[in-house]
Amino acid sequence: MVNSVTNLGRSGVFDWLIQRVTAYVLALYTIFLFGFILTSDVNYETWSSLFDQTWFRIFTLLALLSIGAHAWVGLWTVTTDYIKATLPRFLVQALCGLTMFVYVVWGIQILWGL
Amino acid sequence: MLVSLYRYNPETDNAPYMQDVELEIPAGKDLMVLDVLNLIKEQDPSMAYRRSCREGVCGSDGMNMNGKNGLACITPLSEVLKNNKLVLRPLPGLPVIRDLVVDMSLFYKQYEKVMPYLVNDTPAPAIERYQSPEDREKLDGLYECILCACCSTACPSFWWNPDKFIGPAGLLQAYRFLADSRDTAQEERLANLDDPFSVFRCRGIMNCVSVCPKGLNPTRAIGHIRNLLLQRAT
């Protein structure tokens, strides 16, 4: 058993499962958005009426959280593979974490017009 | 034929270097790479490499031949030769002791971690522990590993984290005992593997499958371990 405290869920199988589940959410969201752009006339009215609906705001927030978790697992793997010195690795991981946190909070602010 | 050899003797060399050797191969013969090394050693006895059974059973002469890991004793020249040239390097990713001889300590350390032996807490029967032919069949494709290290040293995940990722060879053996109907330590074995490095550092690159001289499939075994971990956790 290898100890690690910087990965998302302490357990390998948790990280693995989260990455797969979030990949499905992101795929669904992407397909939906593509479908929307292809099938409807994209202008301010249709776009803002789409985002006015609570279900779509929740779906978007789910996609945002999924990006955060998915990217954390992925980037954590990349940094532990390629950045061997502890301090630079920790700094890069902290920067990634901060970026994802900002995106999620900023996304909530945009979605609900706070 | 031109043979380019990786040479390094820490007692006399500051750094490793490649040595080119011209060799006359008898016409009409398809030698194994190990035969070529033996011919070279006749000319230069300082050349160091491991070999023992010379028939692909002991796993001593794993090396990198023209960029691909394999056993020198069962690799015919006709299979690896490119433009009449053969480049021989030690297995990648492990410390070199001398020439083509690598230090396998890390590899064995990872192997040891998976408890590569049968664990059974129940009282020993009078003669032996029986296993049905169906259960025995589950071990096919797992028990044949000879620990030559060709797979693990071809795996980029093992190159980057040889101290944390168990590697294809160790994981194949981990599953060999997880799949054994006579073993009673499945829970302990799985608990030891459920971290983000030991199993999950496998990214499915499948170099292990492409180089295994015994034709085994560590990636499939890793997939089975992942499924067992998933069943245990959900």
- Report ipTM for this prediction: 0.84
Q: What is the pLDDT of residue B25?
A: 86
Which residues in chain B have their CB less than 8 angstroms from residue A6's CB? Answer: none
pLDDT band at B100 (very low <50, low <70, confident <90, very high): very high
Question: Rounded distance, CA B39 to CA B50, Å?
Answer: 15
Q: In A, which residues are within 8 Å of B192 by CB distance?
A: 1
pLDDT at A10 over 80: no
Cβ distance of B194 and A4 shorter than 8 Å: no
Mean pLDDT for B74-83 is 94
Q: Find which of B155, B200, B230 to mutate to test the A interface (most A CBs within 10 Å of its CB).
A: B200
Q: What 3-state DSSP class applies to B152? A: helix
Q: Do B193 and A12 touch (CB under 8 A)?
A: yes
**The predicted structure's pLDDT at residue B27:** 81
Tell me if B233 and A80 make a contact (CB, 8 A cut-off). Answer: no
Q: For B220-233, how does the pLDDT look when each residue is reduced to its tens digit (9 = 90+)?
A: 999 999 999 999 98
Q: Are B81 and B66 in contact (CB under 8 A)?
A: yes
Q: Do B197 and A15 touch (CB under 8 A)?
A: no
Q: Give the pLDDT band of residue A61 (cuts 50, 70, 90).
A: very high
Q: What pLDDT does A57 receive? A: 95
CB-based contact A17 B195, cutoff 8 Å: no
Write out pLDDT tens, residues B116-167: 999 999 999 999 999 999 999 999 999 999 999 999 999 999 999 999 999 9
Does residue A114 register a pLDDT over 90? no
Task: Determine the pLDDT at residue A92.
Answer: 95
pLDDT at A88 over 90: yes
Q: Which of residues 160-219 of B touch A (CB under 8 A)?
A: 160-161, 164, 191-201
Contact A82 B160 (CB under 8 A): yes
pLDDT recorded at residue A7: 82
Question: At B22, which amino acid appears?
Answer: E
% pLDDT > 70, chain A: 99
| Residues of chain B found within 8 Å of residue A3, distances taken between Cβ atoms | 195
pTM for this predicted structure: 0.91
> What's the mean per-residue pLDDT of chain B?
95
Rounded to whole angstroms, the Cα distance separating B218 from B211 reads 11
pLDDT for the residue B217: 97
Query: For A22-47, what is each residue's pLDDT tens digit?
Result: 999 999 999 999 999 999 999 999 99
Instruction: Assess whether pLDDT exceeds 90 at residue B234.
Output: no
Q: What angle do CA B183, B188, B193 make, to 5 degrees?
A: 110
Tell which wins on pLDDT, A113 or A58: A58
Q: Which residues contact B78 (CB under 8 A, 6 or more apart)?
A: B30
Report the distance separating Cα B107 and Cα B173, nearest Å. 13
CB of A82 closer than 8 Å to CB of B157: no
Q: Given pLDDT bands bounded at 50, 70 and 90, which one contains residue B89? A: very high
Strands of B36-194 (E only): list them: 62-65, 68-71, 85-89, 96-98, 101-102
Statement: residue A1 has pLDDT above 80: no
Q: What is the pLDDT of residue A91?
A: 96
